[in-house]
Amino acid sequence: MANRLCRGIPDHSRKAGPGHTAIGTGHYLCAMFVYRCFVLLFLIWCPILSLGQAIPGIIPKPVSIARNGEADISLHGQVQLFGDSQLHRQVIYLYDMLRTHCGLSARIIAGDSLPNPTIPLIRLQLADTMRPANAYSLTIGGNTGLLRATDITGIVHGMQTLLQLLPLGKKDSMILPALIIKDHPRFAYRGMHLDVVRHMFPVSYIRKYIDYLAFHKFNTFHWHLTDDQGWRIEIESYPKLNSIGSWRDSTLIGHFRDTPARYDGTRYGGYYTSTEVREIIDYAAVRGITIIPEIDIPGHSRATIAAYPAFSTDPSARWNVATTWGMYNRQNNVLAPNDQTIAFLKAVFHEVADLFPAPYVHLGGDECSKLWWKQSPATQAFMRAKGIANETALQTWFVEQVGAFLREKGKIVVGWHEIMDGNLDRSTIIMNWSNDAKAIEAVRKGYRVIQTPGKPFYFDHYQSRNPSDSLAIHGYNPMEAVYRYEPVPTAIAGTADEARILGGQANVWTEYMGSPEKVDYMVLPRMTALAENLWTPRALKNYEDFLQRVKSVMLPRYQYWGSLWFRDFEQWGADK
């Protein structure tokens, strides 16, 4: 034994000559040294190895996760569920997820019933003392899993963590590890956007997209519903928005920059009825997701003026719903300031505000060309009469008019960063799709800011430099860049202004996404990187560790969801 243990280790105790005793002692001492080192290493590493085996990778990475010293829960195909009365729908949601996720047969315990002590119990409980919003704790051990959260959204976040602790696919038995997880998001606002104008998607896919958001612990779905290429929401007070404005005669083929431009010649369009919208809002609410609707004004309004030319700067013209992208300064797509337009905006935004329970309404305000206002005698006369100094101030006037309507309805205005070019009400929330300098400008003007920078949070950009990759608008935003981007600009980090950065969002403009499968390909796995970016404390983020969890945690789920994803995410990294 000693010879085998000490092979390759010099024996300095060995003397010259045939001293048998010296040789034996040296081998014995060496063997004891190695044995003790082995025992010491075993004692050090065994708990670590046990912990590593007991705690699977979770995305986004939690703030705190540890063993709690109790026994793991052994699940043999069944579990009991109990929740506070306010969480009844979340209990049903968890019931469905456990059944489809891993084949667990769950029993929902009514408030006046006693659980069976021999069957594992998962309890959902609201806790007013927990901070911040969307925080949760998950304590698992013995025969019980207790999920506590500040609010419904936090409960759903904790449910998603619980599901990641269980295997995918039906199993006869499984182990729920005994853990204590204390978790909360870094940022209050964590969103994903989807443009359904350039291409429209069925209600079934909107639900699936919301499921993506719920799994990733986002809390906001920004639904871009109107633009130059179509009007995608039913408006009862102005029905031509749907009979005319929701349909275009053709769609661009290939890239916008191709010469000559080519079109498919096929009528394209549709809209979501009020009933469908209510169903989607309800579906999202169960999953802790707030939906912010966007009605884009005063630019990006070509579909509006196609339906109602009186709202344009040239009422005598007949406008078509746009069939191409890139309208800025190329085709007239702005609203004219007049009494008819204001009555229209008031009616539309009142309908939208009544339909969506979210405290926010997004009114766009981006890429509003001033060219058409400059060329309109009626607009110039209106500006003189109202004392509006210039076209930038006119844009602000539009935003303030709509803002006043929305404040009457108890709503907060959200808009793209261009709306702050004038002297805008500081209660407005700015979505910054430009660079950090623009975010700093907004914060120092007194606005709250949501970071949605084109680089790297635009998921319509390429995620590789492969020239044969699927068509995208332009640019290069690989997954690594999404993960490593810091939403708080360095210039304001650690100052009081940092609190004005509410969080972040990725934008999914669909000019080149004509199907749900293409949307999946463009957002996965970048959505996963964004989720951890906005949730996990900066000090806990580690890209190499994240990559391993994407492969072990997420790829099986993408496959389970029946979703496409960009498979070469490891090959293409951030620019250095």
Q: How far is CA 182 from CA 101, 132, 143, 528, in A?
A: 23, 12, 19, 20
Which position has the token pair 């007991």? 54
Given the residues 367, 400, 441, 469, the one annotated as active site: 367
Q: How far is the C-alpha of 158 from the C-alpha of 86, rounded, in Å? A: 16
Q: How far apart are CA 183 and CA 177, in angstroms?
A: 17
216, 300, 362, 461: the catalytic one is: 300
Cross-strand partners of 227: 230
Would you call 255 a catalytic residue per the annotation? Answer: no
Q: Which residues, 6 or more positions from 11, have their beta carbon under 8 angstroms from its beta carbon?
A: 23, 26, 27, 30
CB 251 within 8 A of CB 323: yes
Closest listed residue to residue 81, CA positions, set 63, 103, 105, 59: 105
Contact 194, 223 (CB under 8 A): yes
Known active-site residue 227: yes
Specify the DSSP element, H or E, that contains 538. Answer: none
Separation of alpha carbons 110 and 85, rounded Å: 9
- Residues whose CB falls within 8 Å of the CB of residue 285, separated by 6 or more in sequence, listed in order: 152, 357
What is the dihedral sign for C-alpha 232, 238, 242, 245? negative
Residues in the chain, overall count: 576
195, burial (CB in 10 Å: exposed 0-12, middle 13-18, buried 19+): buried
Closest CA to 291 of 348, 214, 365: 214
72 flagged as catalytic: no
DSSP character string of 473-493 = SS-B--HHHHHH--SS-GGGT
DSSP 71: P
Residues 87, 147: contact at Cβ < 8 Å? no
Task: Please pick, among 151, 227, 228, 391, the residue that the annotation labels catalytic.
Answer: 227
DSSP at 551: I
Helix segments in 296-447, DSSP class H: 302-307, 339-355, 371-374, 377-386, 391-408, 436-444
With residues binned 3-state (H G I as helix, E B as strand, rest as coil), the percentages for the chain, rounded to 5, are 40, 20, 40
User: d(Cα 398, Cα 403) in Å, to the nearest integer?
Assistant: 8
Q: Token match 């709306």: residue? A: 419
Distance CA 478, CA 461 (A): 9
3-state secondary structure of 4: helix
- Cis (ω within 30 of 0) for the bond into 60? yes
- Cβ(541)–Cβ(533) under 8 Å? yes
Which residues are known catalytic residues?
227, 300, 367
